[in-house]
Structure 1
């Protein structure tokens, strides 16, 4: 990492991108290890829908801090894998509601069983650092 030693703080964006890529790749490996067929970028949408309530794309986007087009694309990708389904809102026919499909619910159950393992691993890693990364990025 001599490059980062030479460039110093000017390269923080590059270094953070590398960290993000590493965490994303590791997350994909963990999902695969547990037999969960989702892409890491889908996780926020998947998590919100795993709470059981059907939601509009707009409400999902607002809740996770993503743009409407981003959530719309993720929902399309998840739909192509059979993880979500959409239906017309009974109170407003112009709106579509998104929810997990039976396959998505099954996957959500598998993931829920793994949350304690992931939480413990993150806590173990965090305990070995001088700084609280979670608090720092907050």
Structure 2
């Protein structure tokens, strides 16, 4: 029996993590098959730099809708791998742009056909699943309206709840 599947919507987070892990594992296998050392977490940052040119950590975080801390960790890993470098921001001395290095530019050229194949495969999966992306859009909209945390606190309050959670929300 598949426990998480049997839980239905109650195991939403576990199911999303499991699916994300499966997709990431397959992507990692594809990179390895081509002899490319690549961390899946690099994709968003590298793709944005390839599409848009130099960007700041803040710009990348806003575009990718992830935390600045997450982008900073990815930046550090990409710098250690020699794939990106930083340069002074042209108009703001407090900021630095992330830029593809020569190695990074060569890597992007090599990855482009693979990324196109991955995009096509993802579109196939999305279509076969009856437009899963639309369901994810709806899920994201619902959580934007009210976070999971706020819903948990509300459910606790409905049941007499835990005073610590009621205080944390206020």
In 2, Cα distance between equivalents of 1:89 and 1:33:
37
Matches within 5 A, 1:1-138: 1-4=1-4, 6-51=6-51, 53-129=53-129, 131-138=130-137
In 1, Cα distance between equivalents of 2:46 and 2:90:
23
Unaligned 5+ runs, structure 1: none
What is the RMSD computed on CA atoms of the aligned residues?
1.9
Deviates more, 1:19-28 or 1:34-43: 34-43
Distance change >3 Å, CA 137–CA 116, structure 1 → 2: same
Higher relative contact order (CA 8 A, sep 6+): 1
In 2, Cα distance between equivalents of 1:12 and 1:90:
44
Task: Give the CA deviation at 1:120.
Answer: 2.8
Deviates more, 1:74-83 or 1:85-94: 85-94
Tell me which protein shows more helix as a share of its residues: 2
Task: Give the CA deviation at 1:113.
Answer: 2.0
TM-score (norm: length of structure 2): 0.72
In 1, Cα distance between equivalents of 2:97 and 2:4:
46
| Kept in 1: contact 2:86–2:99 (CA 8 A) | yes
Larger radius of gyration: 2
Unaligned 5+ runs, structure 2: 138-170
Q: How many pairs were matched up?
A: 137
Task: Give the CA deviation at 1:52.
Answer: 5.2
Give the SS at the match of 1:97: strand
